[in-house]
Amino acid sequence: MSQAEGVNVQRRRVLIASTAAIGAAGVAAVATPFVRSWAPSAKAEAAGAAVTQDISSIEDGQMIVVKYRGKPIFVVKRTEDMLTTLDDVVPLLSDPDSSESLQPEYCANPTRSLEPGVLVVEGVCTHLGCAPNYRPDVGAADLGGNDWYGGFFCPCHGSKYDLAGRVYSGVPAPLNLPIPEYSMDGTILTVGEA
């Protein structure tokens, strides 16, 4: 590979990934795999070009992060157990039906997604814009114990979101995490294109 090609490949590594796996004790362990994605050039990306990612290598319960228009896009492979929590957590949420939140029409449903098993959501807290942490560890003592069904926790001021990006009541963040335009073709995810 030439040096120029090497630089190109480097630039295409826009996907900074984090993963969490629930261990036997229910404790989340986080690693950071790097996954290649087909990204547009920096100029095209600034103009809002779509970003394509093969998500076939994401494991159940794992999250990766794709960069789109300078924002982190969280992509989570939700398990059946995770999907069950979306009903259980409803009484704790501020806007469980996402009626005041941003999402494409095709994601205006209980799972806020095209495919229930795949969550695609902007990783930007709706309070003041910090990046929430992925915390799938159900019952985490530091996040409310039995009232924590897994989701995202913003370390800046303590906002909490469920596994569909819906915000808990009584936290600083006013809205659910936005869902971007995206499409799925098999295991190929395209963010920025319906």
- Give the residue, chosen from 21, 102, 130, 184, that forms a contact with ligand FES under the rule CB under 6 A: 130
**Per-residue binding letters, 149-168, with ligand FES (x by CB under 6 A):** -----x-xxxx---------
Contacts of 194 (CB under 8 A, 6+ apart): 104, 106, 181, 182, 183
Rg (CA), the chain: 16
**Which helix (H) or strand (E) element contains residue 14?**
none
Taking the least distance from each CB to ligand FES, the nearer of 36 and 157 is: 157
Percent composition of the chain: helix, strand, coil (DSSP 3-state, to 5): 20, 25, 55
Q: Are 142 and 164 in contact (CB under 8 A)?
A: no
Closest distance to ligand FES from the beta carbon of 71 (Å) = 14
Q: Are 130 and 156 in contact (CB under 8 A)?
A: yes
Closest distance to ligand FES from the beta carbon of 117 (Å) = 27
Binding region for ligand FES (CB under 6 A) out of 82-90, 92-100, 120-128, 174-182: 120-128
Report phi then psi at 98, rounded to 5: 55, 30
Closest distance to ligand FES from the beta carbon of 171 (Å) = 7
- Give the residue, chosen from 27, 128, 188, 194, that forms a contact with ligand FES under the rule CB under 6 A: 128
Q: Does 125 bind ligand FES (CB under 6 A)?
A: yes
User: In this structure, which amino acid lies at residue 63?
Assistant: M
Q: Does 127 bind ligand FES (CB under 6 A)?
A: yes
- Give the residue, chosen from 116, 144, 172, 178, that forms a contact with ligand FES under the rule CB under 6 A: 172
CA 98 to the chain's CA centroid: 16
Q: Residue 67's beta-bridge partner residues? A: 72
Which chain residues interact with ligand FES by CB under 6 A?
125, 127-130, 154, 156-159, 172-173
